[in-house]
Amino acid sequence: MSEIDLKFDEKGLLPAVIQSASTRKVLMMAYMNAETLRMTLETGFTHFYSRSRGTIWKKGETSGNTQKVKKISYDCDSDTLLIEVDEQGPACHTGQETCFFTEIAGGDVIRQQPVAHTENILSRVYQVIQQRKRERPKESYVTSLFEKGENAFLKKIGEEGVEFTMAVVKRDRTGAIYEAADLWFHTLIALASMDIPPEEVFKELQKRR
């Protein structure tokens, strides 16, 4: 990659900081060499070099938690990459959304509890909704709602809220689950319209425990 004058270290590696394009959270840090950077640029998905295994690996190759590249930048010293991605699923092998979930505060190490599986699902759905909002693919239901405007998805929230309420009144367990999913889905669309990730709602819920 001499044409952009990147400064690889003595082992031919560069640290790459991975950031979510939608939530702006730093997801992880890994290493790239010239080959994995080339593969990342050519395929549009992040590829890294494993120092411990001495091998090239594609993020999500086995887990399915891929990272689609939106933008690549490098710092003023030309020795660190910043890669903005649309992520599919959690970045961390522990199941956390980000690898940076351990905090040092006042000399104490505070490890956050693992994110619940349901939270991961909501985050993944939100990420897909954000992608649909940006790219507006044809024949997408989410695209159709954004094209129609705010009243379209707000109306759906109202309708799904009524249908969920009726299912609960009837003690219809299957119906309540189905309508709750519809209600949550359209609520995520409304949140996406304001660029509010579900993690902000999770934080508010944490305050109420």
Residue 139 maps to which CATH number?
A: 1.10.287.1080
pLDDT of the residue at 2? 45
Cβ–Cβ under 8 Å, residues 22 and 127: yes
Domain boundary among 110, 127, 157: 110
pLDDT of the residue at 202? 85
Domain boundary among 84, 110, 136: 110
- What pairs with residue 80 in β-bridges? none
| Domain, as residue range, for 75 | 2-110
Cβ–Cβ under 8 Å, residues 49 and 56: yes
Same domain, 90 and 27: yes
Same domain, 192 and 144: yes
Total domains present in the chain: 2
Q: State the Cα–Cα distance between residues 99 and 112, nearest whole angstrom.
A: 11
Q: State the Cα–Cα distance between residues 14 and 34, nearest whole angstrom.
A: 9
Same domain, 97 and 8: yes
CA triple 89-134-23, angle to 5 deg: 45
pLDDT of the residue at 111? 62
pLDDT of the residue at 127? 87
Same domain, 98 and 153: no
Written as tens digits, the pLDDT of the chain (209 aa) is: 445 689 999 999 999 999 999 889 999 999 999 999 999 999 999 999 999 888 999 998 877 789 999 999 999 999 999 999 999 888 888 778 889 988 887 767 666 655 544 556 788 888 889 999 999 998 899 999 999 999 999 999 999 999 999 999 999 999 999 999 999 999 999 999 999 988 889 888 888 86
Same domain, 28 and 72: yes
Chain-centroid distance, C-alpha 23: 7
